[in-house]
Chain A
């Protein structure tokens, strides 16, 4: 797997406040990587360093094979950035905004017009194309913002909390767009504080808390990595339940539902081993299900606080 983005020992402080305390990340080309964390964890700063907007105090970042400090222009040519606040020209129309981006991407005039029309259609903005952006809703502005990022056909896209504040419909549309981009081979670096979003979209997730990466892996690996995962065995009758309880020490019996909960990482090998331990009793099991904690549990276990805990101010100060 080739890497689209690598960060090693990334450090950044603003004054005495340490925002990034030596983080390492690796993002494979053509994958979706999600940086998950609460407000103030350092997500936006990470994106700003990777997109050449802010200089790191230490460490090395390579994007599309180029060092962000030594060759920012080559990095900029490869990336597109959509931040959590729409960076659009409110005094122009949606169409003019896209044509402006086409010009700045040095597209030929005809190609710029063609791509603009296609993106207006794709993002459901064709009807509002000739209206100034001041008349747009928040969701429309965000869609325009992403369309402006896409006009230059970037191979690596940074999305900094792209769905924060969006209504459910716009949010699903954004997700769909992200999936289509990845299907086209684009690398997505997504920050979010919404666990379901990371779960839904990301191939790999890094959990960022107080400037440190506290866990990294696929959504499933993360869910299995913490205690609380278990295999639930359902029995047709109490006889089977009794026998299974004797065979499997340390399990939790529920008579009301005729189930036995056995702590396990929930992986296939563990489940097979567990059924082997049951021996003949396995025949009495009429249902097996694996229960893994959701990312909320993971987040709580890793950081000691739920994602809803917000430390406002830091990340919003731009």
Chain B
């Protein structure tokens, strides 16, 4: 077998391993769906009646407005689960074992990413299903749904490729707190729940320029038909940039000396 087919085979083995973890402990998946749904319920409960921040003449209901943000939160939560899994493997020593074996070093990483992608897309689909039950009425046609799926895949890839090196670099599970807080809190200071225009000062600037905002605006445009302006390009650029940065960092970590 060539190096390439071996790398594919090893990646598939590592992916099966991680997916088996999910099947063995389905509660991970349940929580990954429950957390975004709870946030959704909270926001439509608290802000749903107001519609205040949406600007005059908006025809979009609040649940339709916040759902893109909820999808991003689902991806964020998924990446924190990934980071914890990678960190557990790293601190328990099994990554050390993999590294003494004649397998491609990146196949270990690929396994994390592919399984995280599957896991997070499943939870995102379930979250969207629950939201439709709660009154979410996207206007997207098949083509736009495909685009939604594409943007979500890009987003999850970016978040996962970031989660892997954070998980590898942290010496303990506690060392991940910063990463988890950031991926779970950043969606709140974005265009997810309130348009940045309604915010004030530096928060407004931050919300308008952070990476989640163009992704949320793009998803919102696709799902509800509101104009998303020039944000598609920014969303794709952010996702590809973050994914590449995470991938390169992870490659360095998996080749350098074992954690001391």
State which of A52, A80, A103, A106 has its C-beta within 8 Å of the C-beta of B99. A52
Contact with B along A61-98 (1 / 0, CB 8 A): 00000000000011011011101011111111000100
Contact, CB under 8 Å: A317 / B260: yes
Cβ contacts under 8 Å, A238 to chain B = none
Given the complex of chains A and B, what is the CA–CA distance between A26 and B6 in angstroms? 33
Cβ contacts under 8 Å, B258 to chain A = 48, 53-54, 318
- Asked if B259 is at the interface (CB within 8 A of a chain A CB), the reply is yes
A53-B258, A54-B258, A318-B93 known; A76+B17 contact, CB < 8 A? no
Interface residues of B in 44-100 (CB under 8 A from A): 89, 92-94, 96-100
Q: How far is the CB of A161 from chain B (nearest CB, A)?
A: 13
Interchain Cβ contacts under 8 Å between A and B, 20 examples: A51-B100, A52-B99, A52-B100, A53-B99, A53-B257, A53-B258, A54-B258, A79-B100, A80-B100, A81-B96, A81-B97, A81-B100, A83-B93, A86-B93, A87-B92, A87-B93, A91-B21, A96-B20, A100-B13, A106-B6
Contact with A along B10-45 (1 / 0, CB 8 A): 100100010011001100000000000000000000
- Asked if B103 is at the interface (CB within 8 A of a chain A CB), the reply is yes
Number of interface residues, chain B, beta carbon within 8 A: 26
- Asked if B142 is at the interface (CB within 8 A of a chain A CB), the reply is no
Number of interface residues, chain A, beta carbon within 8 A: 34
Given the complex of chains A and B, what is the CA–CA distance between A109 and B99 in angstroms? 22
Given the complex of chains A and B, what is the CA–CA distance between A152 and B10 in angstroms? 15
Query: A-side interface residues toward B, CB under 8 Å?
Result: 14, 48, 51-55, 73-74, 76-77, 79-81, 83, 85-92, 96, 100, 103-106, 132, 148, 152, 317-318
Closest to A15 in B: B260
Contact, CB under 8 Å: B13 / A87: no
- Asked if B209 is at the interface (CB within 8 A of a chain A CB), the reply is no
Given the complex of chains A and B, what is the CA–CA distance between A106 and B102 in angstroms? 10
Contact, CB under 8 Å: B13 / A104: yes
Q: Which 10 A-B pairs have the closest CB atoms?
A: A87-B93, A87-B97, A77-B102, A76-B102, A103-B13, A53-B258, A81-B100, A54-B257, A51-B100, A87-B94
Closest to B104 in A: A73
Closest to A12 in B: B257
State which of A77, A88, A318 has its C-beta within 8 Å of the C-beta of B260. A318
